[in-house]
A and B are shown apart, each in its own frame.
Chain A
Amino acid sequence: MRVAALAMGLFCAAFVVHWLLWRVYLPRRQTAALLAIFFACLPIGLAATAVGPLARLVSPLGGCDLLQVGLFHVAMTLAYVVAYSAIEERSPSMTLLLYVADATERGRTRDELCDLLRSMEPIERRLNAMLRDKMIVEADGQYRLTAKGRAWCAVFGFNLRLLNRRAGG
């Protein structure tokens, strides 16, 4: 039980650090900042359990214990980063669902839904996001894939073939 308590305690501590930092300063590259905070807290937290008052509570820890704590922390960090993208900005589908729900029994017409999604400027925002994330570059009126963009294409193209699907969107 102490291994589980240590693992969850480390993750919660990292979350508290992230929450406190966000109260003071919102980083421009929030995903990168989250990964830095959570992955830094793992070795720092484990080192803290080797000395001081925490050592009496959780020691001795074997190699498998550390591995289990580390795997939990990495998996939960990646899961939170994925969830954070939905926290940071609402997806178009979720925007539609909440917009319809807010209308309650009155409902929404198709034109209202279309106007809402059109106001989100889907093409422009995604192009700007890809430019900001350096997946594409713009030159002479052309958008070209960067090495990072080509890597993403390769990964997702391969995955689509495995899934036996065409790209959605």
Chain B
Amino acid sequence: MTMDNGVVVVLAPVAGQVVNCLTHLTLCQIAGRRPYVAIFAGFFVGLLVTAAVSAAAVLERDVRMADMVGRCGLNLLTYGALGWGYFHFVNLNIASLRIRMLLEIGDSGGATNEDELRARYNVNEMIALRIERLLDGGHLVERNARFYSGRREFLLIGRVFEALRRFILGRPTQPPPSSNVD
């Protein structure tokens, strides 16, 4: 594999991520109140670009099938990891209370006191906002003034993270407050 060709293979996930970002930002201007549609669409387009560029660069040279599969697979995993990081960065803007608090302290001239924060962040409104977001996404359903599980995707992810918490931290319960940004 030539150096130029090799560099193209290596940078395919980066190209895919750039396309992901550009697609997402473009769709944000159109998708309006459905931010996750734009995020997933951008990820999918970037994935196609990564796969296409990787395959084209590898096929340009006479490479063994095993090497082609290995390099393309590695690129797809690399792109997946970059996309995962980008998704969470964007999601912080959408769902993170901490980021919102930080931005509002900034908008207050860089300083505020706890009473002002409490007045601005009515806990009941915050809770209602989270519940409404889960209802809008179909993750919760409301029947006869009670809430039930809806779509299972995030619940499954939650169960996976519970299992990972037990495996890595050795405990299932919530640990003391940490630097988790949310």
Contact = CB atoms under 8 A, between A and B. Distances in A.
Contact of B95 (A23, A83, A93): A93
B73 to A, nearest CB: 6
A123 B28 contact: no
Nearest to A2: B70
Interface in B66-125: 66-67, 69-71, 73-75, 77-78, 80-82, 84-85, 88-90, 92-106, 110-114, 117-118, 121, 123-124
A90 B174 contact: yes
Given A113-B131, A113-B147, A68 B9 contact: yes
Interface residues of B, number: 90
Contacts, number: 271
Contact of B9 (A64, A87, A122): A64
B174 A97 contact: no
B6 A141 contact: no
Contact of A89 (B127, B140, B174): B174
A85 B84 CA distance: 13
Interface in B6-62: 6-7, 9-10, 13-14, 25, 28-29, 35
Interface of B: 1, 3, 6-7, 9-10, 13-14, 25, 28-29, 35, 66-67, 69-71, 73-75, 77-78, 80-82, 84-85, 88-90, 92-106, 110-114, 117-118, 121, 123-124, 126-127, 129-131, 133-134, 139-140, 143, 145-149, 154-155, 157-159, 161-162, 164-165, 168-170, 174-175, 177-182
Interface of A: 1-5, 7-8, 19, 22-23, 26, 29-31, 62-65, 67-68, 71-72, 75-76, 78-79, 82-94, 96-98, 100-101, 103, 105-110, 113-114, 117-118, 122-123, 125-130, 132-133, 135-136, 141-145, 149-150, 152-153, 156-157, 159-160, 162-165, 167-169
7 contacts: A3-B74, A68-B74, A117-B127, A122-B121, A163-B35, A163-B90, A163-B93
